[in-house]
Structure 1
Amino acid sequence: MDVVVDFFNNNQEMLIGFGIKFIVAIIIFIVGKWLSRLVSKTISKVMLHNGVDSTVTSFVASLVYGIAFALTVIVAISHLGFNTTSLVAILGAAGLAVGLALQGSLSNFASGVLLILFRPFKAGDFVEVAGVAGVVEEIQIFSTMLKTGDNKAVVIPNGNITGGVITNYSTKPIRRVDIVMGVSYDANLADAKKILADVVAKDERVLTDHDVTIGVSELADSSVNIVVRPWVKSGDYWPVYFSLLENMKVALDDAGIDIPYPQVSVHMNKEEQNEK
């Protein structure tokens, strides 16, 4: 007991100073933990208010809380007089190792967050991404699932999506149908264009408040190509495309206007030699 009393008497100033530092460190820890939770909850509320996916919101909020709490612990320990340089170096090295090991997954996760935040497409949209066209069924953290026209489920890593071109066919309410019909060089172009215009006019799904473009687009090797460009609702695109293509073929056949197939004309010159 006397040893303890002597130690306290001889090191009174040091112990009091350490006690004050310890109390301040505890206060830093408590306040820092409270602030970490407050920042995490605030970020979570803001993300949910902006319509961010709940899974992403929870992950980001937890990540922010973990980083803020780790900083709080480091500051509290540093206030006690301990050297935290080695601890920070160890944590940095561990984080770097984990990041390198999971760089592919982290890239897909970051891309998933971007897809959810900026919403270039949503579930139910018909899109073409990473060389695959289909309807978006689900946008997950690391990948996106599409359903193709032949009812196949395709899972695409989010990193492949954000790293390429995204074509969303469902964003706009209307689309332009582009059809190219080739007619013979012997055909009367005015008659051919009138026939194609009549076919388009008979389809009630074609929007009448948008002009229909019909004109010669190319003088090809075997045909004169006429482009037909009506406007339709996005949901009617393929039905109208197939219907118009068939009806135009039938109408041109009925009018006796040929739709030529690729052909090559060969001209031969004969030279007559007089034998002497």
Structure 2
Amino acid sequence: MIKRIFTATLAALICLTFSSLPALAQDSVELGPEIRVTNTPDDSAIRSRLQAVLGAIDIVDDIEVDVNQGVVTLTGDVPNARSVRELMAIARRVEGVIHVQSRLVEETDVSARVRPATQKFQDMGNQLLQLAHVILVALVVLIVFWLLGRWAGSRGAWLRHIGLSELASNLGKRIMRLAITGLGVLIVLEILDATALIGAILGVAGVAGIAVGFAFRNIVENYLAGVLLSARNPFDVGDIIEVGTFNGTVMRLTSRDTVLMTRDGNHLRIPNSLIITSAMTNFTRNPLRRLEFMVGVSVDFNLQEARKLGVDTLASTTGILPDPEPQVLVAELGDSTVQLRFLAWINQRDSDFLKARSEAIRQVKAAYDQAGIEMPEPIYRIHLRGPSSPATAIEAPMSPHQVPAKDTSPSSPTLAEDVAADTTIDQQVAADLRASNEENLLQKT
């Protein structure tokens, strides 16, 4: 029974499948309404049109065109692969073309390869000839503005009249020359109808400026610092200055560094940026300079008398100025001595600082020796401790009058020594300035 039911069901399914096959076949081959082609150019018209177009192209010679049922076949030699792509693109744009076949071959002959470049150069030459009068006008304008910039750059005396330094004036003249020349370049580009280059030039100049700024940052800093130094004029040739740990006599100021001559006669170059950003001491601007030194005297001696004797000695020392008056101050009270601080003023144009200080110390020492004022040496207490004995002190500190005997007999008055200004370094600086051709922004013009 089940077998019969299964057989009947299978037969029904087979009949249903075969009955639906015509409908499926009909749906698969249904292509819609018929397409009608009207007014389509024939093959001869397409061929004629393509031959006319290709004949107008200079780089194409002897290209054969074959058209069959709208299929175009191009045959011939072309200079390069770019020409192949261009010709096929032209053929596809012709009305009625269904497909384009390429049988074009790239030429390997050197003359054929060079021909397009030669043609371009010829075209450029023809254009230059046509624009010769415009180029001539632009060249004249550029030369005029360049000469005008040079003239303006050489007429910077008015910058000095308004108070600018020589280096600042030179910078101002350069800026004027560049500005005028740049204006001429912009006018020339406008005449040549090449204003699109202005944006590119400015962009390149900006990028180049950033790169140059990073690469030459120290040079630019020193140059700008030189401009500020020449404008502020904090020192002149021959001034003795101190910058940080550097000390010497100023020889010259350049656009990059400041040259000093040390006390040893050596040339010392300090970058301008270091000088402008550091604390600087000028010992020459004020001709008066104070010297000082310390002297220790006995605690048993009358300090008032020691001070008076010191002041009188300084006042009578060669090179010490009476006004401002010299001073002797009690600076510190020690275990065995009292420290006196001696202060005096000199005129550096007449006296050398080191010589005057040395002479003042010598004269004070002689005066105190003659007056019997002790200048004791430091005294120390030493304790000795044995393995089985208590610690014992060798001696208590001796009083200044118990210091081992030394010659305190009055000495004869000492002769004054030479304290005149030392011009050795000044003479060497002057000789170097005469022999050197290096720029010096401190020299007056």
- Normalised to the residue count of structure 1, the TM-score between the two structures is 0.75
| Match in the other structure for 1:231 | 345
> Are residue 250 (structure 1) and residue 372 (structure 2) matched?
no
Matched positions, count: 250
Amino acid at match of 1:104: N
2:185 to 73, 83, 95: 73
**Higher normalized contact order (CA 8 Å, seq sep 6+, divided by chain length):** 1
Q: How does 1:1-276 map to 2 (within 5 A)?
A: 40-41=153-154, 43-47=156-160, 50=163, 52-53=165-166, 57-71=169-183, 73-74=185-186, 77=189, 82-83=195-196, 84-220=198-334, 222-235=336-349, 236=351, 237-265=353-381
CA contact (8 A) 1:213 1:230 kept: yes
Structure 2, unaligned runs of 5 or more: 1-134, 393-445
Q: Larger deviation: 71-80 or 211-220?
A: 71-80
Mapped partners of 1:263, 1:71: distance in 2: 83
Q: How far is 1:41 from its partner?
A: 5.0
Shift in alpha-carbon separation, 1:75–1:178, aligned structure 2, 3 A: farther
Amino acid at match of 1:165: A
Shift in alpha-carbon separation, 1:177–1:73, aligned structure 2, 3 A: same
Q: Please list the CA deviations of residues 119-145 of structure 1 after superposition, one character each: whole Å capped at 9, or x if unmatched.
A: 110111111124211111111111111
Q: How far is 1:31 from its partner?
A: 9.3
Amino acid at match of 1:252: Y
CA contact (8 A) 1:127 1:169 kept: yes
Shift in alpha-carbon separation, 1:48–1:156, aligned structure 2, 3 A: farther
Amino acid at match of 2:159: V
Q: Please list the CA deviations of residues 166-198 of structure 1 after superposition, one character each: whole Å capped at 9, or x if unmatched.
A: 110000121122222222222221121122112
Mapped partners of 1:39, 1:182: distance in 2: 69
CA contact (8 A) 2:257 2:269 kept: yes
Shift in alpha-carbon separation, 1:51–1:254, aligned structure 2, 3 A: farther
Mapped partners of 1:73, 1:263: distance in 2: 85
Q: Secondary structure at the match of 1:141?
A: coil
Mapped partners of 2:199, 2:331: distance in 1: 71
Amino acid at match of 2:368: L
Q: Please list the CA deviations of residues 192-235 of structure 1 after superposition, one character each: whole Å capped at 9, or x if unmatched.
A: 11221121121242222323222112224553211121221123
CA contact (8 A) 1:44 1:58 kept: no
Shift in alpha-carbon separation, 1:154–1:230, aligned structure 2, 3 A: same
Mapped partners of 1:202, 1:141: distance in 2: 47
Q: Secondary structure at the match of 1:177?
A: strand
Mapped partners of 2:220, 2:172: distance in 1: 13
CA contact (8 A) 1:130 1:160 kept: no
Q: Secondary structure at the match of 2:251?
A: strand
| Match in the other structure for 1:8 | none
Q: Secondary structure at the match of 2:289?
A: strand
Q: How far is 1:271 from its partner?
A: 7.8
| Two-structure CA RMSD over aligned residues (Å) | 3.5
CA contact (8 A) 1:124 1:135 kept: yes
CA contact (8 A) 1:56 1:141 kept: no
Q: Secondary structure at the match of 2:355?
A: helix
Q: How far is 1:51 from its partner?
A: 7.3
CA contact (8 A) 2:318 2:356 kept: no
Q: Larger deviation: 137-146 or 231-240?
A: 231-240
Q: Please list the CA deviations of residues 72-96 of structure 1 after superposition, one character each: whole Å capped at 9, or x if unmatched.
A: 5347646957233222111111111
CA contact (8 A) 1:134 1:149 kept: yes
Shift in alpha-carbon separation, 1:220–1:66, aligned structure 2, 3 A: farther
Q: How far is 1:266 from its partner?
A: 5.2
Amino acid at match of 1:246: R
CA contact (8 A) 1:218 1:225 kept: yes
- Normalised to the residue count of structure 2, the TM-score between the two structures is 0.49
Mapped partners of 2:207, 2:336: distance in 1: 68
Shift in alpha-carbon separation, 1:258–1:268, aligned structure 2, 3 A: farther
Larger Rg: 2
Mapped partners of 1:104, 1:72: distance in 2: 32
Structure 1, unaligned runs of 5 or more: 1-21
Mapped partners of 1:234, 1:166: distance in 2: 19
CA contact (8 A) 2:315 2:321 kept: no
Q: How far is 1:52 from its partner?
A: 3.0
Aligned-pair identity (%): 27
